[in-house]
């Protein structure tokens, strides 16, 4: 006989969102439950209705089978669906995982209600016990619960089968930009309650201490016996008198198993309120008592007292207009694909906290439930997003009544699950699904059920940022140009908070102009922040030899963003996918192993809680840029960096400063009279161990220039000889390749996807042909003129080599054709002999910086091994630059080497790779470092922008045409 669950063909029925699934609720049943995680019997069928085979393999739960050697592999697509079938259809070839195991039901559970919870399965879950159908569920990122009481026997054994169908009608609304997988991605549990149990508890804890707890009970037996009551306590202090139930269903007219509800209301005096800076939590315990006082059920949850409201065009938390320093986060792991442990999530959040983030958008589905506990505890504002993205077929689906139920189901289930988390401040209806009646229906449900939080949806906001009639209380665009945001905020027409749901696309070497965005946000009423796209580079650890995913056994096969030999970070196409979107999956502020990319350091500085406002005769004005707390959790040290190579330090006393206030402190140093460049830095660290950082962790390093560099004096000519070869190329014992002109960089992802690299290639900038024109001698001075011929123009390049004490000076100029009005760089590139492995420089650092991503790198004296300068972006590209470099040395272990002095702060990079080495390969592990150093000195270097998805860099960060001049001296150490 055909199985009824299969016979329904639920994978082709959008109206069927579940069958016999229990209502979602906020009662955490993890403690005391039977953990069913582990290795299950497994087989992968080609279609949902294919017969089971004799042979079983095994699969780890939770986990996706696509990284577990089943033959079905991950596939990366951004927008396009992985199959051509239009909604609500799914393809005939439809991998279906059958998971089976025995369960032993504890004998003590006799008489109790027994519930199965499947944490998440994608995309259709069918449940059987001992061959009997139990129920089904869709909604891949939320749990499904089923009542097994009548199907299992306490003290006995049963066979539990979970069938997971990969493709369905629901796939069309789960078309998010990440890997497609199949499997059971969150834990599976079995738990027992009394037949009469707490069905749900809703908590509202307000900023003024008001607490309201709504408890609902259900009884599988259908009767609420006399005398049952509820009690509650907060951190052990009894809340109010015990309360009896308001009976909803009088016994004679019983209509359902929903029996009663009770509300506890109280006011907590002197309440410690919750916000992302000081996330104060109380433990609320609610007990359901039998008539004799014994406890039948318990609900425990950490609650935070806080308010969220929109007043005018401001989003207020506890009355404060907080900045949203957010990031978009997927549940991702480089070994498991999707499954994350609470240690994983804690590591994510600790890192975000250390780098100044205070907000998370759960892109693009409800994240693992553990994330919200951690966000409550560590302090993050969360935009909780429903699992709805119909990107490829957005227009058809938004108004398709067949999907109406699914929209309301997904949004309401998220709200029911997460409603008690203080961290959740905004509900999001989903992502990139156009805008239609289905959204309005879901929004209507939320507004009625939870009027305490705003609703946002980018697709609705797009219809008009100020439109009062669309289902978004926030103007939450993605990748809006900064000038559009400013224009809106200044237009007088803004009616809603403007918080970008995605901005500053972090693909490859990116996030240009982030600091400019924040300068605008912090100086423009109406702008309140946004969420960087995104946290992760979703590289899956892969064996290079056969292309298989390594899976859970791969721990330790990577460090500092780099994979061990024989492994690599796979991106789209690496699993042999016919259709894929390549490296667009690697667009995070951290590498797949969570190593922070350089932008993180800039972000940390942008978010600095304490800043130097200005310096004047009276001293230094410091400002507290937090919303809720003072500076007492911080300690600091002053640092004075002098061009002469000296760094002085002095203890700093941070003033007692309330949020938003400023105070002047005395200047800690007297400047030496040498007239040299001088920089003052306040190195701020944590004063005590915090949940997210040990004492002494760096928090920020605001800096101010005390004295500019003097005009350079002309060096004394003479004292050496300059040698050039017949082609006019410099011959120098420390150089393996002479300095030549470079207008090219290995294209960044932004350069490629933004179209710049294509233009540069068309101009021939990657293959300029140098032809010497003249070599002239004037005493000891040698002047070399060369032409660099591209496809559409010629650059005349002039180098004047002058011997100076201890070395030589190079004065260069390059004249670009008028049409080459936006090139990657204009500068010199040369290569050193092998063995010069340490770079020491005076300039911005120590981390990588570029003209439009330089905010977080203080000027000072820095030193790093050459191999540590390069950032291993997944697809090799321009990397390793340092901005504002005044001078540097490259030295060997015996301190021999070379020193370069630049005429002005310049963009410099020292790596083991030529631009062409980087351009020639597709993955970092293919790079073969050269023995010497490739040194780039740039007169001008183009900003990075974010054009892979969003605005390019500003005109002021582009390299103009015309004549460029730069000079430098080269000396032996």
Phi, psi angle pair for 522, to nearest 5°: -75, -10
165 or 753, CB closer to ligand GAL? 753
Given ligand GAL, Mg ion, none, residue 440, with its beta carbon under 5 to 8 Å by kind, binds none
Q: Cα 782 vs. chain centroid, distance in angstroms? A: 52
Could you give the count of Cα atoms lying within 13 Å of 401 in the half-sphere of its Cβ?
Answer: 0
How would you class 227 by CB atoms within 10 Å of its CB: exposed for 0-12, middle for 13-18, buried for 19 or more?
Answer: exposed
170 or 211, CB closer to ligand GAL? 170
Determine the Cα–Cα distance for residues 529 and 601; give it in Å rounded to an integer.
Answer: 18
271 or 949, CB closer to ligand GAL? 949
Cβ proximity of 530 and 501 under 8 Å? yes
**Shortest spacing between CB 275 and ligand GAL, in angstroms:** 28
SS3 2: coil
Q: What's the length of the chain?
A: 973
SS3 795: strand
Q: Does 502 participate in binding ligand GAL (rule CB under 6 A)?
A: yes
432 or 751, CB closer to Mg ion? 432
Determine the Cα–Cα distance for residues 405 and 10; give it in Å rounded to an integer.
Answer: 14
Other Cβ atoms closer than 10 A to 546: 6
Whether 377 sits among the annotated catalytic residues: the reply is no
390 or 813, CB closer to ligand GAL? 390
Q: Which of 17, 43, 66, 78 binds ligand GAL (CB under 6 A)?
A: 78
Q: Does 478 participate in binding ligand GAL (rule CB under 6 A)?
A: yes
**Shortest spacing between CB 178 and ligand GAL, in angstroms:** 8
What are the structure tokens assigned to 467, written together?
């439109």
Cβ proximity of 284 and 319 under 8 Å? no
Q: Does 432 participate in binding ligand GAL (rule CB under 6 A)?
A: yes
Phi, psi angle pair for 749, to nearest 5°: -60, -35
Cβ proximity of 21 and 146 under 8 Å? yes
27-66 mask for ligand GAL (x: CB under 6 A)?
A: ----------------------------------------
Q: Identify the residue whose tokens are 């390749």.
A: 737
State how far the alpha carbon of 313 is from the alpha carbons of 423, 424, 456, in Å: 21, 20, 14
Given Mg ion, ligand GAL, none, residue 216, with its beta carbon under 5 to 8 Å by kind, binds none
78 or 626, CB closer to ligand GAL? 78
Residues 6 or more apart in contact with residue 44 via CB below 8 angstroms: 65, 70, 71, 72, 95, 96, 97, 98
684 or 949, CB closer to ligand GAL? 949
Given ligand GAL, Mg ion, none, residue 587, with its beta carbon under 5 to 8 Å by kind, binds ligand GAL
504 or 742, CB closer to ligand GAL? 504
Q: Which of 239, 382, 949, 959 binds ligand GAL (CB under 6 A)?
A: 949
How would you class 448 by CB atoms within 10 Å of its CB: exposed for 0-12, middle for 13-18, buried for 19 or more?
Answer: exposed
State how far the alpha carbon of 790 is from the alpha carbons of 282, 882, 936, in Å: 68, 28, 20
Determine the Cα–Cα distance for residues 846 and 963; give it in Å rounded to an integer.
Answer: 31
Q: Which of 122, 177, 348, 418 binds ligand GAL (CB under 6 A)?
A: 177
Given ligand GAL, Mg ion, none, residue 502, with its beta carbon under 5 to 8 Å by kind, binds ligand GAL
The sign one gets for the Cα dihedral 746, 750, 756, 757 is positive
Marked catalytic residue, from 145, 174, 389, 502: 502
Cβ proximity of 266 and 211 under 8 Å? yes
Q: Does 390 participate in binding ligand GAL (rule CB under 6 A)?
A: no
**Shortest spacing between CB 84 and ligand GAL, in angstroms:** 21
**Shortest spacing between CB 619 and ligand GAL, in angstroms:** 46
Q: By Cβ distance, which residue is nearest to ligand GAL?
A: 177
Helices and strands: H and E segment counts in the chain: 13, 59
**Shortest spacing between CB 510 and ligand GAL, in angstroms:** 11
**Shortest spacing between CB 175 and Mg ion, in angstroms:** 7
Number of residues located near ligand GAL, criterion CB under 6 A: 12
**Shortest spacing between CB 585 and Mg ion, in angstroms:** 12
171 or 686, CB closer to ligand GAL? 171
Determine the Cα–Cα distance for residues 745 and 913; give it in Å rounded to an integer.
Answer: 11
569-608 mask for ligand GAL (x: CB under 6 A)?
A: ------------------x---------------------
**Shortest spacing between CB 511 and ligand GAL, in angstroms:** 13
Q: Which of 332, 365, 533, 968 binds ligand GAL (CB under 6 A)?
A: 533
Q: Which of 431, 504, 742, 799 binds ligand GAL (CB under 6 A)?
A: 431
Q: Does 76 participate in binding ligand GAL (rule CB under 6 A)?
A: no
Determine the Cα–Cα distance for residues 575 and 854; give it in Å rounded to an integer.
Answer: 36
**DSSP symbol at 380:** -
State how far the alpha carbon of 827 is from the alpha carbons of 275, 733, 914, in Å: 49, 22, 14
476 or 902, CB closer to Mg ion? 476
482 or 501, CB closer to ligand GAL? 501
Given Mg ion, ligand GAL, none, residue 604, with its beta carbon under 5 to 8 Å by kind, binds none
What are the structure tokens assigned to 733, written together?
């014992």
Given ligand GAL, Mg ion, none, residue 329, with its beta carbon under 5 to 8 Å by kind, binds none
- Is the bond leading into 98 cis (omega within 30 degrees of zero)? no
| HEC profile of 23-72 | CCCCCCCCCCCEECCEEEEEEEECCCCCCCCCCCEEEEECEEHHHCCCCC
Cβ proximity of 150 and 158 under 8 Å? no
Residues 6 or more apart in contact with residue 357 via CB below 8 angstroms: 325, 326, 327, 380, 603, 607
**Shortest spacing between CB 578 and ligand GAL, in angstroms:** 20
Q: Identify the residue whose tokens are 């100076």.
A: 804
**Shortest spacing between CB 393 and ligand GAL, in angstroms:** 16
Residues 6 or more apart in contact with residue 31 via CB below 8 angstroms: none
502 or 639, CB closer to ligand GAL? 502
**DSSP symbol at 955:** G
Q: Does 871 participate in binding ligand GAL (rule CB under 6 A)?
A: no
Cβ proximity of 144 and 166 under 8 Å? no
584 or 850, CB closer to Mg ion? 584
Cβ proximity of 853 and 506 under 8 Å? no
Binding residues for Mg ion, rule: CB under 5 A, are 177, 391, 432
130-169 mask for ligand GAL (x: CB under 6 A)?
A: ----------------------------------------
**Shortest spacing between CB 427 and ligand GAL, in angstroms:** 17
Given Mg ion, ligand GAL, none, residue 301, with its beta carbon under 5 to 8 Å by kind, binds none
Given ligand GAL, Mg ion, none, residue 299, with its beta carbon under 5 to 8 Å by kind, binds none
Q: Which of residues 751-790 bind ligand GAL (CB under 6 A)?
A: none
Given ligand GAL, Mg ion, none, residue 550, with its beta carbon under 5 to 8 Å by kind, binds none
**Shortest spacing between CB 176 and ligand GAL, in angstroms:** 6
Whether 432 sits among the annotated catalytic residues: the reply is yes
Given Mg ion, ligand GAL, none, residue 533, with its beta carbon under 5 to 8 Å by kind, binds ligand GAL
Marked catalytic residue, from 122, 432, 812, 901: 432
Segment holding 970, helix H or strand E: strand 962-972
**Shortest spacing between CB 367 and ligand GAL, in angstroms:** 14
Terminal-to-terminal C-alpha distance of the chain: 86
Q: Which residues are catalytic?
A: 432, 502
Binding site for ligand GAL (CB under 6 A): 78, 176-177, 364, 431-432, 478, 502, 505, 533, 587, 949
């Amino acid at each position: 006989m055909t199985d009824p669950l299969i016979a329904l063909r639920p994978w082709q029925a959008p109206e069927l969102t579940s069958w016999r699934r229990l209502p979602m609720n906020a009662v955490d049943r993890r403690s005391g439950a039977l953990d069913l995680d582990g290795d299950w019997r497994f087989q992968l069928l080609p279609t949902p209705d294919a017969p089971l085979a004799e042979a079983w393999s095994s699969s780890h739960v939770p986990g996706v089978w696509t990284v577990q050697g089943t033959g079905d592999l991950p596939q990366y697509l951004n927008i396009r669906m992985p199959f051509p079938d239009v909604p609500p259809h799914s393809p005939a070839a439809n991998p279906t995982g059958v998971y089976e195991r025995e369960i032993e039901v504890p004998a003590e559970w006799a008489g109790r209600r027994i519930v199965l919870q499947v944490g998440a399965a994608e995309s259709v879950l069918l449940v059987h016990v001992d061959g009997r159908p139990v129920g089904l569920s869709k909604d891949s990122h939320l749990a499904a619960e089923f009542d097994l009481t009548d199907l299992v026997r306490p003290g006995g054994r049963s066979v539990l089968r979970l069938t997971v169908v990969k493709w369905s009608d629901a796939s069309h609304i789960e078309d998010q930009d990440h890997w497609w997988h199949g499997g059971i991605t969150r834990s599976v549990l079995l738990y027992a309650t009394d037949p009469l149990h707490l069905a749900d508890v809703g908590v509202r804890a307000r900023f003024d201490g008001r607490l309201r707890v709504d408890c609902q009970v259900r009884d599988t037996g259908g009767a609420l016996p006399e005398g049952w009551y509820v009690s509650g306590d907060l951190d052990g202090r009894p809340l109010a008198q015990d309360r009896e139930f308001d009976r909803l269903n009088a016994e004679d007219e019983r209509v359902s198993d929903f029996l009663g509800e009770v509300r506890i209301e109280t006011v907590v005096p002197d309440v410690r309120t919750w916000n992302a800076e000081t996330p104060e939590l109380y433990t609320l315990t609610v007990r359901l008592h039998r008539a004799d006082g014994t406890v039948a059920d318990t609900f425990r949850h950490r609650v935070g007292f806080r308010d969220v409201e929109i007043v005018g065009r401001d989003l207020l938390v506890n009355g404060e207009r907080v900045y949203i320093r957010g990031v978009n986060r997927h549940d991702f792991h480089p070994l498991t694909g999707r499954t994350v442990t609470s240690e994983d999530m804690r590591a994510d959040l600790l890192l975000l906290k250390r780098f100044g983030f205070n907000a998370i958008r759960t892109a693009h589905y409800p994240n693992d439930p553990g994330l919200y506990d951690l966000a409550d505890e560590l302090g993050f504002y969360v935009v909780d997003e429903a699992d709805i993205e119909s990107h490829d077929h957005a227009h058809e689906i938004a108004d398709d009544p067949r999907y109406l139920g699914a929209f309301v189901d997904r949004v309401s289930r998220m709200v029911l699950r997460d409603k008690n988390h203080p961290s959740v401040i905004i509900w999001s209806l989903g992502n990139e699904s156009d805008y239609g009646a289905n959204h309005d229906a879901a929004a209507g449900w939320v507004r009625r059920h939870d009027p305490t939080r705003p609703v946002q949806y980018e697709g609705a906001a797009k219809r008009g940022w100020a439109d009062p009639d669309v289902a978004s209380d926030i103007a939450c665009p993605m990748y809006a140009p900064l000038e559009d945001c400013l224009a809106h905020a200044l237009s007088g027409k803004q009616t809603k908070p403007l918080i970008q749901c995605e901005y500053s696309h972090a693909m490859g070497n990116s996030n240009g102009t982030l600091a400019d965005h924040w300068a605008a946000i912090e100086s423009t009423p109406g702008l309140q922040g946004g969420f960087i796209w995104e946290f992760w580079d979703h590289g899956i650890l892969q064996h290079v030899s056969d292309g298989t995913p390594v899976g859970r056994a791969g721990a330790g096969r990577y460090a500092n963003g780099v994979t061990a030999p024989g492994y690599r970070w796979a991106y789209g196409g690496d699993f042999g996918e016919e259709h894929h979107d390549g490296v667009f999956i690697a667009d995070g502020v951290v590498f797949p192993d969570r190593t922070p990319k350089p932008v993180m350091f800039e972000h940390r500085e942008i978010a600095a809680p304490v800043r130097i406002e200005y310096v004047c005769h009276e001293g230094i004005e410091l400002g507290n840029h937090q919303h809720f707390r003072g500076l007492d959790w911080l300690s600091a040290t002053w640092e004075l960096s002098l061009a002469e190579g000296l760094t002085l330090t002095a203890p700093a006393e941070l003033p007692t400063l309330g949020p938003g206030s400023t105070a002047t402190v005395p200047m800690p140093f007297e400047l030496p009279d040498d007239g040299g460049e001088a920089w003052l830095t306040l190195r701020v660290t944590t004063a005590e161990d915090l949940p997210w950082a040990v004492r002494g962790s760096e928090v920020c390093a605001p800096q101010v220039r005390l004295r500019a560099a003097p005009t350079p004096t002309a060096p004394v000519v003479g004292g050496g000889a300059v040698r050039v070869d017949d082609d006019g190329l410099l011959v120098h014992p420390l150089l393996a390749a002479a300095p030549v002109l470079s207008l090219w960089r290995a294209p960044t992802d932004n350069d490629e996807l933004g179209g710049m690299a294509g233009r540069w290639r068309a101009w021939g900038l990657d293959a300029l042909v140098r032809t010497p024109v003249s070599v002239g001698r004037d005493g000891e001075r040698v002047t070399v003129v060369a032409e660099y011929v591209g496809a559409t123009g010629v650059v005349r390049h002039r180098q004047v080599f002058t011997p100076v004490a201890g070395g030589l000076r190079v004065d260069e100029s390059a004249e670009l054709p008028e049409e080459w009005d936006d090139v990657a760089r204009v500068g010199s590139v040369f290569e050193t002999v092998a063995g010069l492995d340490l770079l020491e420089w005076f300039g911005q650092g120590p981390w990588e910086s570029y003209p439009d991503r330089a905010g977080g790198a203080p000027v000072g004296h820095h030193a790093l091994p050459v191999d540590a300068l390069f950032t291993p972006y997944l697809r090799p590209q321009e990397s390793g630059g340092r901005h504002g470099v005044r001078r540097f040395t490259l030295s060997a272990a015996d301190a021999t080497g070379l020193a370069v002095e630049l005429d002005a702060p310049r963009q410099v990079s020292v790596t083991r790779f030529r631009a062409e080495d980087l351009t020639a390969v597709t993955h970092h592990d293919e790079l073969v470092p050269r023995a010497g150093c490739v040194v780039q000195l740039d007169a001008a270097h183009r900003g990075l922008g974010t054009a892979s998805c969003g605005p390019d860099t500003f005109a002021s960060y582009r390299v103009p045409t015309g004549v460029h001049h730069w000079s430098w001296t080269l000396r032996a150490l």
